[in-house]
Structure 1
Amino acid sequence: MVSESRLISKITWRLMPFLGLLYLIAYIDRQNVSFAKLQMVDALHMSEYAFGLGASLFFIGYFIFEVPSNLFLERFGASRWFARIMISWGLVTIALAFTQNATMFYILRFLLGLAEAGFFPGVLYLLTLWFPKDYRGRMVGLFMIFSALANAVGAPIGGSLLDLDGLLGLAGWEWVFMATGIPAVIAGIVTIFYLDDTPEKAKFLSDEEKRWLADRLAKENAGMEKQADNGFKALVNPRVLLMALCYVGFPLAAYGLSYWLPTIVKGFGVSNTVNGFINVIPWLIVAIALWAVPAAADRTENKTPYIVAPAFIGAACLCLSVLVGSPILQFAFLCIAAAGIFAGQPVFWSLPSRFLKGAGAAAGLAAINSVGNLGGFVAQNVVPWIKDATGSNFLPMFFLAACLAAAGLLVIIVGRIMGREPDKVAPTVASGGMSGRHS
């Protein structure tokens, strides 16, 4: 007889550390530009705004190819498609080390978005194939912890690489791209051999375990076939569009803060290496919040506060970081703000699986993520523009705070428009949990 807890534990240990490692590499490669910026702006003779525009072109490429990429994943399988994603974005990241001018920087950032598109929603889709709904939210939270760890690890790495300026004839910012691109290529090759596309193809599961999981998922998906969308049809599903609208403010605030945080800390008068180590602190706090908030949400039927309360707390702390005069208090409020921005997202991401499955889930999750990540494009243009216009490193935080608070309000409003509160839309899915509950 199959033990549910033992089976889920086996799948978790097989998949989540590896997927998390891939996400860690992806996030470092996406955010390395925030440290490279500290030297690239002068090296390429660009303004803050011009550099922010180039950095933000990542999100345009990401938006264009996100949905097609996830549908290709559903067709070709996770192992081959994730390998393609990893290898291609690694090569583009390495190419960024040889950037000669602003135009080349713009082109490569756009190509990086094309290359990475589909990875995050692809993992969300993969989790629907491997985990019953009672576990998915916790798995999303566990997966997203690696984004916080990526910022924690990437910050000291980025700062230290900048201080290699001149080694072997390479500038510090060139070392940032070289050293962070190569691991992605290596990880892509490993992915081909390690990752199983579906439970049915998994060699680490017994036939009995495969049957149990297939039966459990079939029971949960029963009745969804008639209402589930297929492929691109999910893109015009009003619920998908509403969820995408809700999500925009979260990545906008996240990318705005993570992109600008090294610049703010540099204003404290520290070296590049010290800057990197100081930037570890907020992301360790984020990692704790990403575990604690979904775990708390799992113990209550009302999930809505676990999405909107962190957002409102984050928005308030962004404002307070501007209003206080002490650098220590400024940094402390930014740490809490970072936790507020990320903590409710695992709860949010579990909601769409209530009405999406199969190719519709692949397309719908990608659509929500791609539209939402346009917030990153906005953040990396508006934040530097505010900086150039005002000369302040802190006034952009008011803009991020307003967007984050609006996202929290939209979660409440859209839930009512859809006829239900968000927690009613996806009971028990919102953070899953390892409690071993049966449906």
Structure 2
Amino acid sequence: MLTISTAHHLEETHRLATRKALLRLVPLMCLIYFLSFIDRTNVSLAKAQLAVDLGISAASYGLGAGIFFIGYALLEVPSNLAAHRFGPRTWIARIAVTWGILSTAMMFVKGEWSFYVLRLLLGISEAGLFPALMYMVTLWFAPKDRAVAVGWIYTAPAIALIVGNPLGAGLMRLDGLSGLHGWQWMFLLEGLPTVVVGVILYFILPERPGNAKWLSPQEAKALETQAVIDTHGHADLSSANWIAALKRPTTILISLIYFANQVAFVGLYFFTPSIIQQMQVNSPMLVGFLSSSVGIGFLAGVLTLPRIHRRFTNDCLYLGVLTIGLVACSCAFVSTSNHAIQVALLVVTGFFAGGVLPSYWGIAMKRLQGVQAAAGLAFINTIGLLGGFVGPYLFGLAETMSGRSDAGFKIIVAAAVLGLLLVPLLAKAIRAEERPATADGLEAT
């Protein structure tokens, strides 16, 4: 039996080890996710020039932007099962190198069909990256620390949205250099660094606490014990084992809520530059800077909301509050024509739609471990990726039918309301899962 002093020592060891992991491991995870987000969203800045240079319409652009997520979704679960078998370090490095090559190849787009094919292949190549990162979180962090760890990881796409648009706009000013269009320079100079980083990560990314040279053996053991780790590659990978995670009502409902969120959020950040241009903003650099408004809200959300979540004992009540906030700000955007207010509401929309993301994963991780975590988290991300396809496609159709990019905000309203209606069903499913555990505990007593 542990003495009070021994328990306190173990708790302090785990706290220090967790802090080290947040400082040493999470930045590497953020770096690769940052680059993936730059490479997947830079096409939003090329939208206008692709229309001029190649004749790609708004509807075709929306389909091409969204088809990325179909390719991603097709291989999401098998890719993350491969990460479980071979180890996330090797798999993440493989993903980074292949998608960096294909992102660079986007400079060779010649028309609609080559645009569709390369976007589809880019999604296939990146399949499994995010759930592999989430799987690593389950290997390193205790359940109580996961929402914060995921929140830090989500700062990567938030920062990418903030700096990526101005960076991409700056690279597009190279238009005409060496006979290349500006959008070709952007794809080239933003794709190649990903290949280099992927190779570097293979050598420096520790995939589990026991492999980290910057942890003492006691610290590594403390992290593994609190994370309820299992050894990848040796767990039961039979279909009965991991399919069980996909059948759970909580997994399905979290997936559907995440789907609704991604319809709204992905559609928004792919069309934000167009929404800004619609406000009679003609300077490409100014469009880039103002388009960062969504990223600013996103960053504020992931830095603050996971910490607020820690104070809530009821996960679904918290999700409901944030979703109501998203409904309110998107309705406000639709009801005003003042451009300054609309830019401010882009920040608020990014805050709620992006800031809630770590909470989805924190809630899911509480209920999934080992190979079930690998499969279940990949399944949730797969359904979300389908939302990532539907969102830009619907935004593109809305712009084509109305002639206005901001018509997509009505889609955000509808998707947010759908997510809100699903939250009570998730609460009911969580109570149903917890009830047998409570009953077993009473019987054991």
Q: Same fold (TM over 0.5)?
A: yes
State how 1:29-178 maps to structure 2 within 5 Å.
Answer: 29-178=39-188
Q: Which residue of 2 aligns with 1:317?
A: 329
Aligned to 2:373: 361
Aligned partners of 1:415 and 1:421 also within 8 Å: no
- Greater helix proportion: 2
- Where do residues 227-376 of structure 1 align in structure 2 (5 Å cutoff)? 230-270=241-281, 271-376=283-388
Q: Which moved more, 1:180-189 or 1:392-401?
A: 392-401
Give the deviation of 1:421 after TM superposition.
Answer: 10
**Distance in 1, Cα, partners of 2:137 & 2:195:** 24
| Residues 250 and 429, structure 2, Cα contact 8 Å, conserved in 1 | no
C-alpha separation between the residues in 1 aligned to 2:271 and 2:42? 12
Contact 2:365 2:373 in 1 (8 A): yes
Aligned residue-pair number: 420
1:232 offset after TM fit, Å? 3.9
Cα pair 1:308 1:344 within 8 Å, conserved = no
Aligned to 2:439: none
> Which residue in the other structure is 1:436 paired with?
none
- Per the TM alignment, residue 420 of structure 1 is displaced from its structure 2 partner at its CA by 5.4
**1:41-77 deviation line (CA, Å, top 9, x unaligned):** 2222122101211221111111101001101101111
Distance in 1 between the 2:111 and 2:101 partners? Answer: 18
CA contact (8 A) 1:383 1:396 kept: yes
Superposed displacement of residue 300, structure 1: 2.9
Is the 1:7–1:209 contact (alpha carbons within 8 Å) kept by the matching residues of 2? yes
Of the candidates 20, 30, 37, which is equivalent to residue 27 of structure 1? 37
Q: Is the 8 A contact 2:293 2:346 kept in 1?
A: no
Q: CA deviation at 1:359?
A: 1.1
CA offsets 1:82-110 (integer angstroms, 9 cap, x no match):
01100000000010101112111111100
Deviations 1:272-319 (A, max 9, x none): 111111222331222112111111121232233332222222222222
Give the deviation of 1:200 after TM superposition.
1.9
SS at match of 2:108: coil
Residue of structure 2 equivalent to 1:186: 196
CA contact (8 A) 2:106 2:187 kept: yes
Q: Is the 8 A contact 1:307 1:345 kept in 2?
A: no
Note the C-alpha offset of 1:210: 2.2
Residues 1:412 and 1:127: Cα distance change in structure 2 (over 3 Å)? same
Q: Which moved more, 1:325-334 or 1:111-120?
A: 325-334
Task: Write out per-residue CA displacement over residues 315-361 of structure 1, whole angstroms, 9 at most, x where no aligned residue.
Answer: 22222212212111111112211111012221121112222111111
CA contact (8 A) 2:131 2:377 kept: yes
Residue 204 of structure 1: which of 194, 210, 214 is its match?
Answer: 214
Quote the offset at 1:418 in angstroms: 4.3
Aligned equivalents of 1:358 and 1:281: distance in 2? 38
Are residues 391 and 421 of structure 1, via their aligned partners in 2, closer, same or farther at CA, if it must alter by over 3 Å? farther
- Give, as a single letter, the amino acid of the residue that structure 2 aligns with 1:97: M
| Residue pair 1:310, 1:339 contacting (<8 A) in 2 also | no
Partner Cα distance (1:162, 1:311) in 2? 36
The normalised TM-score by structure 1 is: 0.91
Looking at structure 2, the residues matched to 301 and 236 of structure 1 have their Cα atoms a distance apart, in angstroms, of 25
Amino acid at match of 2:318: Y
Structure 2 unpaired stretches of 5+? 1-8, 231-235, 437-445
Q: Which runs of 4+ in 1 moved over 4 A?
A: none
1:396 paired to 2:408: yes
Q: TM-score, normalised by structure 2?
A: 0.89
- Provide the aligned C-alpha RMSD in A: 2.3
Identity %, equivalent residues: 34
Q: Which whole-Å CA distance do the structure 1 matches of 2:227 and 2:293 have between them?
A: 39
- Say whether the 8 Å CA contact 2:277–2:287 is kept in structure 1: yes
Alpha-carbon offset, residue 208 of structure 1: 1.8
Gaps of 5+ in 1: 426-439
Alignment of 1:382-393 (within 5 A): 382-393=394-405
Q: Could you tell me which amino acid in structure 2 is paired with residue 129 of structure 1?
A: L
- Aligned partner letter, 1:289: G
